[in-house]
Chain A
Amino acid sequence: MQRLKVTPFHSRTSALMQGAEWRRWGGYQVASCYEMVPDREYYSVRSSTAMFDVSPLAKYRIKGLEARPFLQKLLTRNIQSLVPGKVIYSPWCDSRGKVVDDGTLACFAEDDFQLTAAEQGEAWLKRVATGFQVTIDNISDDYGILALQGPTSRGLLNELVGEGIDQLGFSEAASFEVEDVPVWISRTGYTGDLGYEVWVKAQHAEKLWDRLVEIGFSFALMPAGIWALDVARVEAGLIMLDVDYLSALRTESLAQTSSPFELGLGWSVHFKKGDFVGREALWREKEENSTPYRFVTLVMDDLAYREAFQQVGLAVDLPVQAWRGMHPLFDAQGEQPGYATCGTWSPTTQKYIMLAQVEPAYSAEGSELLFDAVVDRKRRKFPCRVVKTPVFETSRKKECYAKV
C-alpha cells in the first residue's frame, strides 16, 4: 500500500498519538496534536519546552567553490558576512520577484552550506545553480530535526550536551555529541521564543528522542504538534507557506503570488549585494511603490465578539486552533482593502489575533478594519485594529547566556 512518508521519530511520535490527529507536511506524516486537545502542547512553548518533530523540512547541503555566489544569486538577502557557526533566514524569489519559498541557511565553511525550506523544491535550486560550480545534495531524508522551543529549553540542552549550549547566541549553531551520537544544534525556531533545533542522523533519531524525553521530565518537556506550533508562530508574526502565501512556482495566476514586500520581508531584500533572482522586479516594485498589500497583525475586539455570542445565548467560541483561509476585511464604507490569512486566540497575550494582507493605506498601526465572523449561523462584522508585529515578544529569544 502506498503511504505518506514518516519521519525518523515516527516510532516514538506514533506511540504518543491519542486521537489519530495526523497531518501532511511535504509528503510526510506529522502530528497535529498528540493529546486530544492541543492546549498543553501550546502552553509548553511559552512556559516550559515543546518538542516539535520538524523533520519534514526540506534540507539541502550546498557545497563547492561557487556555493556562496550561488546562494547570493538565489536568496534575496546578502549572505556575504555569513560565517561558519551562524544561521540566517531568507526568502527566495522567481524572476518576477515573487516568493518561491523561505528558510534558513547555515554556513559550515566557505564552500559548505546547509539550506532548509518549507517544501521540497530541489528543481528550482538546480535551475538557479546552472553555470555555478556547486553541488546540491537533497539530504531531507538523512536527518531528523527536533525543535525544542520554550523557556526551559536551554537548561534542558545544557543537561543533554553540556554548557557549550550557553555559548550559542541567537541564530548561532554548533556541533555537539549525545552519548557518541553527533548532533548539530542551532539556536533558531518558529515560535518567537527561546528555542533550538537539533539535527540528528536518521539512524540515531530514536536514541536522541528517548534521551530528550528522559532528561526533559524535569524541564516539563512536552512533545507537541503542528497545531501548537501554529498558534505560537502566528503570535510571533512568522509566515507559513501555503497559508500566508503560495509558492510563486505553484500559483495559477500572478495575483496569487506575493513579493517579499507584501509578506513583511522587505528587510531581507538587499539590493546592494548585486544581482539575485527577482532583483529587477523587486527594485521596480520598490521604486514605484507598487506593493499592493502589506503584511500586518490585527487584533480583533474580543469583548465585542464575546458580547455577540452572549446576545444569542452562547458561550464565546474563541479559536484555540489557528484557522487558515482567506477571510475578507472591510473598511467602514464596505470596501474590501485586505484579507486575513490565518487567525487564532492567542492564549499568552489574551487577544484574538490575525495575520493579514491589507492595502498600504490601512497598514499603519492603529488602522481600523472590520472582520467578518460567523456567530451562531450569521455573519457579523467585528472591529479590528492593526498592531505592531509580532504581538508576542520575549527577551528570552535573543538573550545572551554566554559566560564572559
Chain B
Amino acid sequence: MQKYDAVVIGGGHNGLVNAAYLGKAGLKVALLERRPVVGGATITEEIYPGFKYLTGSYLISLLRPQVIRELELPKHGLEILPLESTVAPLLDGDYFADWPDHDMTRQEIERFSRKDAESYDEFNATMRRIVFGVKPILDMIPPDPTSLEPHDLAQMARVRGTLDRMERRDFHTLCRLMTMSAADFLDEWFETAPLKAIKSTSGIIGTFLGVRSAGTGYVLLHHYLGELNGVPRAWGFAKGGTGGLSQSIARSARAHGVEIFEDTPVERILVENGRAVGVATAKGDEFRADRVISGAHAHPTFLKMMDPGDLPEEYLADINRWRTRGPSCKVNLALDGLPDFPAIPKNKRALLRGSIEIAPSVDYLEKAYDDAKYGGWSRRPFMDALMPSLLDPGMAPPGKHIMSLFVQYADADLKGGWTEQKKAEFLEVVVDTLSEHSPDLKDKILHKHIMTPDDLERVFGLTGGHIFHGELTLPQLFFMRPSPQWANYRTPIKNLWMCGSSCHPGGCITGAPGRNAALEILSEVKEQVPV
C-alpha cells in the first residue's frame, strides 16, 4: 500500500487547486474524485450530442490571478473570453443594457434617468474603492479574533491593515453594504427600476434570500470582487465551458506529479488516535497519508465520511446548523438557431453575446423569492441567461446554439420532493417565462435539461444544492466559515484539513480556499512554494 504526503478528497476546482499547489511544492499527493471526471461543479458535459452543457458553474471572475499564474493555467489550456454586456429585456417591450464602454452605458441609462447616469459613475468608483480595500482579504487565512496567539494577532493586524487603504466614508459604506439588502443599498443610489433590478441580482445569486433581505448586500459585494485581465468586476467565459478551467487545473496538477483517481468515491476518513491517517474508498481501497484534505462540502465531510463521535460536540453543532438550503437551478437548452428577443433592438444584437437577465424589476425579483420560500418555486423566476456558443463556437454544432440559464428560485426542500414530474414542471415554468421575452424560443429548442437543487446535491455533492457550499451571509463568513476557531482550514481532527468553498472566502470559482489551505499546509510542513 502506497503512502502519500497528502490525500485530497474531491476533484472540484478547489480540490484540484489545492492538490496542484501541494504537488508543486514536492509533496506526494493523491486526489480522489467520486465522479468519472474531475471538475466538481466546474464542469462541461455533453449531455445532448454535439452540445456542451454547463451543468454547474458558467462564468469566471473571482479566480485569483495568483492561481492562474502560479499553476500556469494558460499553458495547460485555460482561455477566458470576456463577457462584456448585460441586457435585461423588460416586460413593456423596452430593454435596459449595460455595455463595456462608459459612454455607451451612460447613453442607455440616460434614456431612463439623467440623474442615474451621473450617479452611475460615482457608484462604480465607490464600489471599486471598496473592492480594492476588501479584496486582499480573499487571500488571508482567517484569524481567530478571540485568540492571542501570535499568528492570529498578526492576521488580525493584516485585516485591520486593509482599512488603511480605505477612506473612512468608504468604510462606513462598506459596513452598511455588508448589513443591508442589495435593493435597499441600490435605492440609495438610483431611481431607474431596471438598473436597480440588474444590479441587485448580484445580491441574490445562489442565495436563498430576496433582494430586499438584509445580508444580500454582501453577496452583491462578493460578486464585485473579481477581475479579468486586471479589469475589476469583469466576468468571462472559459473556452470549452468552465470544464475547460477545471481540466486545465487538473493538467497542471498532473504535471506537478499529483495522482488523480477518478471514479473513486471516498467512503470514510480514517481517524486513529484523534488524527486523520488516510481515507477508505467505496471500492474498498485505503489511501494512507500524512494528511487528509477535504474539498468536499462540510456536510458530507463531517457527517457522512466520519464517525460523529470523533468530533467535538461544539464543532458538530456548528456543522449541523450550517445553512445550505439552495434556491438555484441550472437549465441548458440546445437550440436550432438563435432565438429572437424582440425587446433588443436589431442594431444592438451584440448584446446577445453577453448576459441576458430576466430581471425586469426589483419587485419581480422579490416576488420570485416570495413564491419559493415556503417549499415552492417562483412562478416567474429570475434568470441569468448566456449563449456561450456565440463566444465559443465549439460549444455547439455550426449554426446551432446552446443557452445556459441560471434560475432562481426553487426550494431545495420542495414540498413533496423533487420528483421527475416536478422537475419537468419547473423546467416548463422556466421555458414559459423565457418565452415571454423570446416568442420563437420554443420552436428552436432541440433538447432541454435541468439541474434542480436536488440534482446539484446528487451529482455534485452540494448539500441542499447550495452552489456556494452554504450561504454567504454574515454568520457564515470569514472567521465563522465553517466554524469559529476552525476557519483557518484546519479542523478539530489533527491532520484533517478543509480546502473547499465551505471555507473562507466561500463560493464562486475563486481557487482561493484551495490555495489558502495549501499555503497554510505548506507553512506547516515547513516548505516554501516555489513561485
> Which residue numbers of A lie inside 8 Å of B, CB to CB?
18-19, 35-37, 39-40, 43, 46-48, 151-152, 155, 218-220, 302-303, 306, 310, 313-318, 320, 345, 347-351
| 67-82 of chain B: CB within 8 A of chain A | 68-69, 73-75, 78-82
Q: Is B229 part of the binding interface, using a Cβ–Cβ cutoff of 8 Å? A: yes
Q: CB of B392 within 8 A of chain A?
A: yes
The chain A residue with its CB closest to the CB of B399 is: A218
A306 touching B132 in the complex, CB below 8 Å, given contacts A315-B230, A350-B73: no
The answer to whether B232 has its CB under 8 Å from any CB of chain A is: yes
For the complex formed, measure the closest distance between the CB of A375 and the CB atoms of chain B, giving whole angstroms: 13
Closest A residue by C-beta to B69: A303
* A155 and B398 within 8 A (CB): yes
Check if B5 is an interface residue, CB within 8 A of chain A: no
Most buried by B among A47, A151, A303: A47
**CA A80 – CA B272 in complex, angstroms?**
77
CB-CB contacts of B95-124 with A at 8 A, as 1s and 0s?
Answer: 000011101100000000000000000000
In the docked arrangement, what's the CA distance between A266 and B3, Å? Answer: 53
Q: Report whether B128 and A48 are in contact in the complex, using a CB–CB cutoff of 8 Å.
A: no
Q: Quick check: is B239 within 8 A (CB to CB) of the other chain?
A: yes
Asked whether, in the complex, the Cβ of B79 is within 8 Å of the Cβ of A348, the reply is yes
Give 13 A-B pairs besides A39-B84, A315-B232, A318-B231 with Cβ atoms closer than 8 angstroms. A35-B350, A39-B82, A40-B84, A46-B79, A47-B392, A48-B392, A218-B399, A220-B393, A302-B69, A303-B66, A315-B227, A315-B230, A347-B229
Q: Find out whether the CB atom of B79 lies under 8 angstroms from the CB atom of A313.
A: no
Q: Does B390 contact A (CB under 8 A)?
A: yes
Q: Name the residue of chain B whose CB is nearest to the CB of A36.
A: B101
Residue among B65, B229, B230 facing the most chain A CB atoms (10 A cut-off):
B230
Given contacts A36-B101, A43-B82, A47-B81, contact A316 B230 (CB under 8 A): yes
**B391 touches A (CB below 8 Å):** yes
- Return chain B residues, CB-CB under 8 Å to A318: 229-231
Q: CB-nearest residue of chain B relative to A221?
A: B393
Supposing A218-B398, A348-B74, A349-B74 touch, asked if A43 and B230 sit within 8 A by C-beta, the answer is no
Contact mask for chain B residues 494-507; partner A; CB cutoff 8 A; 1 contact, 0 none: 00000000000000
Give the distance to chain A from B238, nearest Cβ to Cβ, in Å. Answer: 11
- A345's nearest neighbour on chain B, judged by CB, is B229
In the complex, 19 of the A-B residue pairs with CB atoms within 8 angstroms, ordered by the A residue number, are A35-B101, A36-B100, A36-B101, A36-B103, A39-B84, A48-B391, A152-B393, A219-B393, A220-B389, A302-B65, A303-B65, A303-B66, A303-B69, A306-B65, A306-B230, A315-B230, A318-B230, A350-B65, A350-B78
- In the complex, B165 has a CB within 8 A of chain A: yes
User: Roughly how many angstroms separate A218 CA and B392 CA in the complex, as a whole number?
Assistant: 11
Query: When chains A and B are docked, how far (Å) is the Cα of A18 from the Cα of B66?
Result: 35
Chain A proximity of B90: nearest CB distance (Å): 24
What B residues does A220 contact at CB under 8 A? 389-393
Least distance between B64 CB and chain A CB atoms (Å): 11
Q: Which residues of B are found within 8 Å of A306, using beta-carbon distances?
A: 65, 230
> With A and B bound together, what is the CA distance between A252 and B231 in angstroms?
41
Instruction: Report the nearest A residue to B70, measured CB to CB.
Output: A303
Q: Is the CB of B230 within 8 A of A345?
A: yes
Shortest C-beta distance, B278 to chain A (Å), equals 35
Q: Contact: A37 with B100, CB < 8 Å?
A: yes
The 10 A-B residue pairs with the shortest CB-CB distance in the complex, in nearest-first order: A318-B230, A36-B101, A316-B230, A218-B399, A220-B393, A218-B398, A350-B74, A349-B74, A43-B81, A39-B82
Q: Which B residues are CB-close (under 8 A) to A47?
A: 79, 81, 239, 391-393
Known: A218-B398, A303-B65, A350-B73. A40 touches B393 (CB 8 A): no
Contact A40 to B82, CB < 8 A, known contacts A47-B239, A220-B390, A315-B128: yes
**Which residues of the other chain, A, contact B392 by a CB distance below 8 angstroms?**
47-48, 220
A310: which B residues are within 8 A, CB to CB? Answer: 136
Min Cβ gap B136→A in Å is 8
CA distance A182 to B128 in the complex (A): 54
**B 377-406 binary contact with A (CB < 8 Å = 1; else 0):** 000000000000111111000110000000
A183 to B398 CA separation, bound complex (whole angstroms): 24
Distance A349 CA – B74 CA, assembled complex (angstroms): 5
What residues of A have a CB within 8 angstroms of the CB of B353 in the complex?
40
- Interface of B with A (CB < 8 Å)? 65-66, 68-69, 73-75, 78-82, 84, 99-101, 103-104, 128, 132, 136, 165, 227, 229-232, 239, 350, 353, 389-394, 398-399, 531
| Cβ–Cβ contact A315 & B132, under 8 A | yes
A345 to chain B, nearest CB (A): 6
Closest approach, in angstroms, between the C-beta of A394 and any C-beta of chain B?
Answer: 11
A18 to B230, CA, bound (A): 24
Residues in chain B near residue A152, CB distance under 8 A: 393
- State the CA gap A36–B85 with chains docked (Å): 12
Give, as a whole number of angstroms, the nearest-CB distance from B324 to chain A. Answer: 33
Distance in angstroms between the alpha carbons of A345 and B234 in the assembled complex: 16
CA distance A218 to B391 in the complex (A): 11
- Nearest chain-B residue to A42 (Cβ)? B82
Q: Chain B residue with minimal CB distance to A158?
A: B398
Q: Is the pair B84, A37 in contact by a Cβ cutoff of 8 Å?
A: yes
- Alpha-carbon gap, A39 to B353, bound state (A): 13
Least CB distance, A344 to chain B, in whole angstroms: 11
- Name A320's closest neighbour in chain B (CB-CB): B229
The smallest C-beta distance from B233 to any residue of chain A, in angstroms, reads 10
Tell me the minimal C-beta distance from A326 to chain B in angstroms.
24
Q: How far is the CA of A19 from the CA of B102 in the complex (A)?
A: 12
Contact at B391–A219, with CB atoms within 8 Å? no
**Residues of chain A within 8 A of B103, CB atoms compared:** 36
Question: Which residues of A are found within 8 Å of B389, using beta-carbon distances?
Answer: 220
Task: Say whether A350 contacts B69, CB under 8 Å.
Answer: yes
A39 to B230, CA, bound (A): 13
Query: Once the chains are docked, how many angstroms separate the CA of A37 from the CA of B83?
Result: 12
Chain B residues with Cβ under 8 A from A36's Cβ? Answer: 99-101, 103-104
- A220 CA to B391 CA, complexed, in Å: 7
Chain A residues with Cβ under 8 A from B128's Cβ?
315
Task: Provide the bound-state CA to CA distance between A36 and B105, in Å.
Answer: 11
Residues in chain A near residue B132, CB distance under 8 A: 313-315
In the assembled complex, the Cα of A265 lies from the Cα of B202 at a distance in Å of 52
Q: Measured between alpha carbons, how far is A318 from B239 in the docked complex, in Å? A: 22
Chain B residues near A48 (CB, 8 Å)? 391-393
Asked if B398 contacts A219 (CB within 8 A), the reply is yes
A345–B74 CA distance with the chains assembled, in angstroms: 13
Q: Report the Cα distance A19→B390, complex, angstroms.
A: 23
A349 to B72 Cα, complex, angstroms:
9
Q: Write the chain B residue with the least CB distance to A159.
A: B398
Shortest CB-to-CB span from B444 to chain A, Å, is: 14
Give Cα A326 to B78, complex, Å: 32
CB-based nearest A residue for B239? A47
Q: Are B399 and A313 in contact (CB under 8 A)?
A: no
Q: Are A313 and B165 in contact (CB under 8 A)?
A: yes
Instruction: Give the most central of B66, B229, B239, B390: most A CB within 10 Å.
Output: B229
- In the assembled complex, the CB of B106 is this many whole angstroms from the nearest CB of chain A, namely 12
- With both chains docked as a complex, state the minimum distance between the C-beta of A289 and any C-beta of chain B, in angstroms: 34
Closest B residue, CB atoms, query A150:
B393
Nearest chain B CB to A157 CB, angstrom units: 13
Question: B residues within 8 A CB of A46?
Answer: 79
| Cα separation A47 to B103 with both chains bound (whole Å) | 27
Q: Determine the chain A residues whose CB is within 8 A of the CB of B66 once the complex forms.
A: 303
Q: Please measure, in the bound complex, the distance between the C-alpha atom of A306 and the C-alpha atom of B389, giving whole angstroms.
A: 33
> What residue in chain A is nearest B164 (Cβ atoms)?
A313
Q: A151 contacts which chain B residues (CB < 8 A)?
A: 394
In the complex, the chain A residue whose C-beta lies closest to that of B136 is: A310
Q: Which residue of B lies closest to A392 (CB)?
A: B74
**Could you tell me the distance between the alpha carbons of A19 and B101 in the complex, rounded to whole angstroms?**
10
Contacting pair B68 A350 (CB below 8 A): yes
- Say how far B385's CB is from chain A's closest CB, in angstroms: 18
Give A306 to B239 CA distance when docked, in angstroms.
Answer: 25
* Residue in chain A with minimal CB distance to B80: A347
> Which residues of chain B are near A351, meaning CB under 8 Å?
74
Alpha-carbon distance between A18 and B99 when the two chains are bound, in angstroms: 13
CA distance A340 to B80 in the complex (A): 27
